[in-house]
Structure 1
Amino acid sequence: MHCYFVLSGDSQLPVLYHVERVRDGRSFATRTVQARQQGRPIFTTTLSFDREGSWGKKEIKHTRKKPDVPLPEQPDGLGRGRGPFESRRVGITNRDSPHAADRSLQLYNKARGTISAEGGRQAHLTALAYMSDSYFIGTVSRVHNIRRFSSPGAIERAAAALKKEVGVEEELAKRYLTDLAEQEEQELKLSKQTSDDPNMEVGMMVSLDHTIYFHDRRAFRADEWIFSEMRTPWAGAGRGLVLQQMWAQDGTLIATCVQEVTKKIHNLCYISFSIRPLSPNLKAPLQSTRPDG
């Protein structure tokens, strides 16, 4: 599944999805979907489906082993938002490395509550796709230990920038960003992390695309804890690349994700947000209290 975020969406307007049947083969089928508002494309995706069992009886197998990381106890104030899923952060690995690309972020996610049987496999795959964006975009700044919010003034400027760039209500953006700032402050106190450059902040960071490779589609439940590890092999020229791998409870690698972001660095404020794939309300991230941007 390859997603591209073309324009910001407006939650007050209807979204029309145009589906094109590109190919129906014996083993694979391809579809493209374009989401439009007022006749303008705001989101496009290309999806590839394979027929179960079409690969035959003989095949080559290998997989990366899940890191041996236990599920942490939930710290107070972190990962307890009212969103559709729960999160428990493990932390940043290789923090002492002088190279940001050597560091990675680790966390556990699961859908809140229990997913009913009526939704079938599709419900778990949809929930996994949504969860794959949790903390993902912020990997670039977090491996550098850069603080996202420094003062109420920074939040004011961030909210104003969101209103200008995306059309989000300023008061709604302030509430969302203030919540993120408070949760970030708790996280920094718990981890005792220091910034690589205390004078540097991210002014804006936005997802350009989001790709998900589903591996073993029947090896997990999205309402059970899923372990994720995120790293960024490269950042520069106003962009950054982040990679993520996700494992089920039994250690099965179930998905690999890739995202490219665009960013602006200065000393004023930090905005980190992304538009979720598979969600008709494209401003949903700004209406939740999830500890991510």
Structure 2
Amino acid sequence: MNDDDALQSLVDLLDLEQIDRDIFRGRSQSALLPRVFGGQVAGQAMVAAGRTVPQERAVHSLHAYFLRTGDPGSPIVYQVDRIRDGRSFSTRRVVAIQHGRPIFHFSASFQDPEEGLEHQVDMPDAPDPETLPTPQEFFGRHGHLLPDPEIPRRLLGFRAAWDLRYATDPPFVAAAAGGPRPARQQVWFRTVGKLPDDPLLHVCATTYLSDMTLLDSVLLPHGLGGWATGDVVGASLDHAMWFHRPFRADEWLLYHQDSPSTSGGRGLARGSIYTRDGRLVVSVVQEGVVRIPRS
């Protein structure tokens, strides 16, 4: 798949079919994963919510729970509940339904543009994205560390719409290099081509991407290779995002991730997304199941 086709596939994935006033239907990347990717459901739910809100109101936060594993071979229906439309804010609740049961619960709040106080945490140091290996170069260099040669091919196919570059070693590389690391990871990302000038699309695309590497930071202190190597099993439990400033998903964004705690079979991860010029545009928090498989 070339870059244009991959990017169009992402745009099509985030272009839901409206089947009633507040009911939408989405499809999945059925050939690439054995279950529906959580970021896809979150991104599609954001599309559904955003299409019921006045265009001038931008999303500023979302909170979501992953309830059941999604079936990639079946469509997902998104039902939107218009909780509130106030003078400055709108609130929406979305339930994603598959085979007659909810698989995902989502709420988001939107706000009219407003001036106010301004401050942010400075962007941490990170290498320039152009100095880092492309996804193809990275897996060409490190793919032999994975137990199945098909895994790099599937990952590259699944991420084909994204130029995602590791600024620090992901768990499977860090584990092979010798043990525990600090619970921090950095990746640069952008889409492989230009997206349309629709702010909601850029938000939805970044919501999709935000679930892609975040829980890796949970594994680094334990010297585990992670989901791809099979020494850990897990899944996202919940996901929250706060959108601070405008941005584009087709321009370089730094995703700085860390994990403050792992306990009780769960791991907590945090992420801060910065533009290349140092503006903090999104904050992310996610908790996931993290279990060692029983022998």
Q: Which interval holds the TM-score relative to the shorter structure?
A: 0.5 to 0.7
Q: Shift of residue 13 of structure 1?
A: 2.2
After superposition, the C-alpha distances for 1:142-199 in whole angstroms (9 at most, x for unaligned) are: 23331237xxxxxxxxxxxxxxxxxxxxxxxxxxxxxx55xxxxxxxxxxxxxxxxxx
- SS of aligned partner of 1:256: strand
1:14 aligns with 2:91: no
Task: Report the counterpart of residue 289 of structure 1 in structure 2.
Answer: none
Task: Report the counterpart of residue 226 of structure 1 in structure 2.
Answer: 253
1:91 aligns with 2:163: no
Does the CA contact (< 8 Å) of 1:105 and 1:231 recur in 2?
yes
1:66 aligns with 2:123: yes
Q: Shift of residue 135 of structure 1?
A: 1.0
Q: Structure 1: which 4+ aligned runs deviate by more than 3 Å?
A: 77-80, 100-103
Does the CA contact (< 8 Å) of 2:183 and 2:217 recur in 1?
no
1:108 aligns with 2:108: no
Does the CA contact (< 8 Å) of 1:4 and 1:43 recur in 2?
yes
- Residue identity matched to 1:254: V
- Residue identity matched to 1:65: D
* Correspondent of 2:217 among 139, 155, 167: 139
1:243 aligns with 2:270: yes
Does the CA contact (< 8 Å) of 2:181 and 2:220 recur in 1?
no
Q: Calculate the TM-score normalised by the size of structure 2.
A: 0.64
Give the Cα–Cα distance (whole angstroms) in 1 for the partners of residues 122 and 102 of structure 2. 40
Alignment of 1:157-236 (within 5 A): 180=228, 202-216=231-245, 218=246, 220-236=247-263
Query: Larger relative CO (CA 8 A, sep 6+): 1 or 2?
Result: 1
Give the Cα–Cα distance (whole angstroms) in 1 for the partners of residues 190 and 221 of structure 2. 23
- SS of aligned partner of 1:26: coil
After superposition, the C-alpha distances for 1:87-126 in whole angstroms (9 at most, x for unaligned) are: 1111169x9xxxx795310110111111123xx1111111
- Residue identity matched to 1:38: H
Query: Can you give the 5+ residue segments of structure 1 that lack an aligned partner in the other structure?
Result: 150-179, 182-200, 269-293
After superposition, the C-alpha distances for 1:218-250 in whole angstroms (9 at most, x for unaligned) are: 2x2211111011101010111110000000111
Q: Shift of residue 47 of structure 1?
A: 0.5
Does the CA contact (< 8 Å) of 1:107 and 1:228 recur in 2?
yes
Q: Calculate the TM-score normalised by the size of structure 1.
A: 0.64
Does the CA contact (< 8 Å) of 1:244 and 1:256 recur in 2?
yes
- Residue identity matched to 1:84: A
Give the Cα–Cα distance (whole angstroms) in 2 for the partners of residues 252 and 40 of structure 1. 40
Give the Cα–Cα distance (whole angstroms) in 2 for the partners of residues 203 and 228 of structure 1. 23
Does the CA contact (< 8 Å) of 1:137 and 1:205 recur in 2?
no
